[in-house]
Amino acid sequence: MKMPVIQVRDLIASRHFQWIDHLSTTNIEPEFVNDTSKTVVLVTESDFQPGHYANATFKFMQIGCEIQIFYKAKVEFDIASAEIEFQRFFIANGWRVAISREHVYDPDTGQLTKTIYVEKQEPILEKRN
Q: CA distances (Å), 68 to each of 9, 16, 20, 116, 124, in order?
A: 12, 17, 12, 6, 28
Least confident stretch, 4-18, 43-57, 109-123: 43-57
- 33, containing H or E segment: helix 30-33
| Chain segment 71-109, per-residue pLDDT in tens | 999 999 999 999 999 999 999 999 999 999 999 999 988
Q: Catalogue all structural domains in the chain, each as residue range(s) with its CATH number.
A: 4-123 (3.30.2000.10)
**Which residue spans within 39-89 are E strands per DSSP?**
40-54, 57-70
